[in-house]
Amino acid sequence: MRRSRKKKRSFNITKYLISIIILLLVPLVVYFTLNNVKANTNTASYTARNHDFKKTEQEFKPFTTSMTLSAIGDILIHSIVYNDANTGNGYDFKPMIANVKDLLENADLTIANQETIVGGTEIGLSTYPSFNSPFEVADAFKDAGVDIVSIANNHTLDRGEKAIISATNYLNSIDIEYTGGYQSPEDKSRIRILNRNGINIAFLSYTYGTNGIPVPNGKDYLVNLIDMELIKKDIKAAKEAADVVSVSMHWGNEYQLLPNDHQKQLAQQLADEGVDIIIGHHPHVLQPMDWLTGKDGNQTFVVYSLGNFLSGQMWDYKDIGGVLQVEIVKEVKSKDETIIRVQNPQFTPTFVSNSHNKNFKVVQLKDAGSFGLNNATSKYEEMTQHMNQWLDAAQ
């Protein structure tokens, strides 16, 4: 009996100890549970704050970027020029522009006026008045840094559709863009837009005519003629797709050092449509630079003619051209406000030297005395003043 009573007492003590332990554990469990909830709350709070920080990082930040655009005048390849470039098994025009290559490469983007169609030797080379030039002309200017060429001019149709297709096929093959003449309606519908440093520039090009050669019926895509209603539509489309619109205009009177009234009227119409840059060709001599104010208060830069860059024409300013360079600044102030500025136009006059119709070279006009030009220094000063006269007057 004693043994049984002792066993019962021992069992009661055990139950009592277990109860005490349970009572002690309950507050500890509650404590750790509450701390765990608090910790999770703090983590969630930290995560939320971190997420807010990431969202702040992705908010819009204003920025400014810039680029330089260069332009050169007429690449007008007479027979005396391509004969001089003949190597016996092809043509090499690179030595002709080697002295000014750095001027072209110095810019972020360069446009040239390819006056004579580069249809290649297979369809037969030809000179004035109906031009066709070797592919190697394009090779040389590609090597010198030219990115795009304007081909809307009075010689575009000289050798017909076949030459245009041949030329544009070759330009495509060496990755030079072209504007102003096209292979098809679909080709024409693609606005030429090039990007440098985050700035998109659209290039348009038009000519006053084609030396009396009619545009083939139903094939007006072969060459852009100056038609202000068409140009307005093109400008509108270009402005919707690009930051900057540059228009090349083949216009004016040959061999006149100043623009005529029609050129000025067209330039003002382009400014009123919001064009940023106007680059003129055709007179074969230099005509000045100027600033125009559009109807909305916008500023438009115009150079009325860049003269001949490489050609067989000589004397009376026809062998003087140059390299234009402008700076384009894009300032993005907010998602809804972007400011574009064309500024700091610089013009470097050039001269085409030769010796008895051989050894054609484009050199800087200031250095032309070393290449046979008399009074090169005074001629350089004259043409520098000539090109800047209206810019200087506006300051």
Beta bridge mates, 337: 334
Ranges of each domain in the chain:
1-59, 63-394
Q: Tell me the C-alpha to C-alpha distance, in Å, between residue 241 and each of 182, 186, 192, 194, 233.
A: 20, 17, 10, 11, 13
Question: Do the bridges between strand 337-353 and strand 177-179 make them parallel or antiparallel, or are there none, so unpaired?
Answer: unpaired
Q: Measured between alpha carbons, how far is 303 from 298 in angstroms, rounded to an integer? A: 17
Neighbours of 395 (CB within 10 A): 5
Q: With respect to CATH, is domain 63-394 assigned 3.90.1170.20? A: no
Residues whose CB is less than 8 angstroms from the CB of residue 92 and which lie 6 or more positions away in sequence, other chains included: 85, 136, 140
Four-residue CA torsion sign, 208, 210, 213, 216: negative
Determine which helix (DSSP H) or strand (DSSP E) holds 376, and give its type and residue range. Answer: helix 376-394
Tens of pLDDT along the chain (395 residues)?
Answer: 333 444 444 555 555 556 666 666 655 555 555 555 444 444 433 333 344 444 445 688 999 999 999 999 999 999 999 999 999 999 999 999 999 999 999 999 999 999 999 999 999 999 999 999 999 999 999 999 999 999 999 999 999 999 999 999 999 999 999 999 999 999 999 999 999 999 999 999 999 999 999 999 999 999 999 999 999 999 999 999 999 999 999 999 999 999 999 999 999 999 999 999 999 999 999 999 999 999 999 999 999 999 999 999 999 999 999 999 999 999 999 988 999 999 999 999 999 999 999 999 999 999 999 999 999 999 999 999 999 999 987 76
Q: Measured between alpha carbons, how far is 78 from 353 in angstroms, rounded to an integer? A: 14
